[in-house]
C-alpha cells in the first residue's frame, strides 16, 4: 500500500494546524499586550508579567464604578472562565475570561482582547455608553 491515504492526509493536516497554532501562540502575546484601549498594562502588583491573578482595583472610570478582585473558586458565578478573578461595573458582575495568550475578554467586548481585567472593565464601560450592565444568565 503506497501513496497518500486519507489517514496520512488527515495526520499531515493536523500536524500543520498544530504547528500554526504554536506559532500564533508565540506571536500573539506580544501583539495582544500592545493592543487594547491604551489603559492599564500591569498584570501584578509590581507591573511585571506575573502569571498569577492580577492586582485588585477599585476606581471610578467615566462616572462608573469599576472593581476587580481575585476570588475563591466557588465565590462567584463566573467559575473557571475568569481564572479566579471577578470584575464588577456599578456592582453588577461583568463576566470576564482569560485567554490562553494571557489577554482578557468580557461578555460586552468579546472580540477585543485586552491585557488586564481593569482594561476589560474600562472597555465594557466604553461599549455600554452609559447603559446599565444587565445580569448575564448562568444558563
Under the banding of pLDDT at 50, 70 and 90, the label for residue 118 is very high
Q: Please report, in angstroms and rounded to a whole number, the separation of the first and last CA atoms in the chain.
A: 51
How far is the CA of 82 from the CAs of 106, 114, 123, in angstroms?
A: 9, 14, 16
CATH code of the domain containing 84: 3.30.1880.10
pTM of structure: 0.59
Per-residue pLDDT of 49-74, as tens digits, reads: 445 679 999 999 999 999 999 987 66
Residue 137 within a domain: no
The percentage of the chain sitting over the pLDDT mark of 90, rounded to a whole number, equals 46
Under the banding of pLDDT at 50, 70 and 90, the label for residue 126 is very high
Q: How many independent structural domains does the chain possess?
A: 1
Rg (CA), the chain: 19
Residue 133 within a domain: no
* Domain with 104 in it: 35-128
SS3 of residue 70 by DSSP: strand
Which residues are CB-contacts of 101 (< 8 A; sequence separation ≥ 6)?
Answer: 25, 28, 29, 32, 113
Helices in the chain by DSSP H: which ranges? Answer: 6-34, 117-128
Residue tagged 486519507 (cell numbers): 6
Q: What is the pLDDT of residue 34?
A: 40
Amino acid at each position: 500500500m503506497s501513496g497518500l491515504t486519507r489517514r496520512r492526509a488527515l495526520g499531515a493536516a493536523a500536524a500543520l494546524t498544530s504547528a500554526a497554532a504554536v506559532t500564533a501562540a508565540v506571536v500573539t502575546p506580544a501583539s495582544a499586550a500592545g493592543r487594547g484601549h491604551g489603559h492599564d498594562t500591569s498584570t501584578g502588583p509590581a507591573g511585571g508579567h506575573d502569571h498569577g491573578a492580577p492586582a485588585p482595583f477599585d476606581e471610578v472610570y467615566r462616572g462608573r464604578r469599576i472593581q476587580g478582585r481575585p476570588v475563591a473558586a466557588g465565590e462567584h458565578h463566573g467559575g473557571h472562565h475568569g481564572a479566579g478573578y471577578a470584575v464588577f461595573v456599578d456592582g453588577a458582575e461583568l463576566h470576564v475570561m482569560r485567554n490562553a495568550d494571557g489577554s482578557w475578554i468580557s461578555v460586552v467586548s468579546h472580540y477585543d482582547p485586552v491585557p488586564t481585567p481593569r482594561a476589560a472593565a474600562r472597555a465594557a464601560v466604553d461599549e455600554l455608553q452609559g447603559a446599565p450592565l444587565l445580569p448575564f444568565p448562568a444558563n
